[in-house]
Amino acid sequence: MTFSRLICLAVLGLTVAACGDSEPGGSPGGGAGGSGEGGSAEASGGGGGAEAGGGGGGGTAAAAPEAPVLAFVMPMTGVLHVEWTPQEGCDAFEGERKDPMDDYAVAFTVAGTKKAYMDPEATEDMEYTYRLRCKVGEVYSAYSNEMSGNPTDEE
């Protein structure tokens, strides 16, 4: 009886040690940098804290890719041609457009190998402003610089 209690205590001690927080600054639900929403894109470890889902952790979260750079927005055959200098390794580029009456909204998503887009929705005589970001998996870059154009302007 005494021997089996000692074994149970030893197993319990190992379990507690294995589950304990061995890293200073770590959180109960994940590695360093964990938060209720799964940590930031730049955090290592990541994977959740005690609130809003918590969960997993471990491993290094993907670092945010660099933002693309808009090269120009130019009228071309009644629409706007948007061109950028892409960043290596992007799975996709997400372009947002705004006009004087509306805020930014996603206007297009193209493959990460593309470097230009003809926007068939930008046809009115007004100034449209664009910004882009690179997507790698579920991680987004910061937004690019902003550039504007009017599809009815003659160059």
In DSSP terms, 117 is beta-bridged to 82
Rounded CA gap, 48 and 118, in Å? Answer: 40
Phi, psi angles (nearest 5°) of residue 5: -65, -40
Three-class SS of residue 120? coil
pLDDT at 41: 38
Q: What is the DSSP string of 10-79?
A: HHHHHHHHHHS--STT-BTTBSTT--TTS--TT-BS-S--SSTT-----SBPPPPPPPPEEEEEEEETTE
Report the percent of the chain where pLDDT is more than 70. Answer: 59
pLDDT at 69: 96
Number of alpha helices (DSSP H) and beta strands (DSSP E) in the chain: 1, 8
CA angle, 139 then 97 then 154, to 5°: 140
Round the CA-based radius of gyration of the chain to a whole number and report it: 25
Under 8 Å between Cβ of 65 and 47: no
pLDDT tens, 35-52? 333 333 333 334 444 444
pLDDT tens, 66-94? 999 999 999 999 999 999 998 889 999 99
pLDDT tens, 20-34? 433 344 434 333 333
Residue 56 clears pLDDT 60, i.e. is over it: no
Phi, psi angles (nearest 5°) of residue 2: -65, -40
Rounded CA gap, 15 and 13, in Å? Answer: 5
Rounded CA gap, 61 and 147, in Å? Answer: 31
Mean of per-residue pLDDT scores for the chain: 73
Under 8 Å between Cβ of 125 and 80: no
pLDDT at 120: 95
What is the amino acid identity at position 99?
D
User: If pLDDT is split at 50, 70 and 90, which confidence band does 141 have?
Assistant: very high
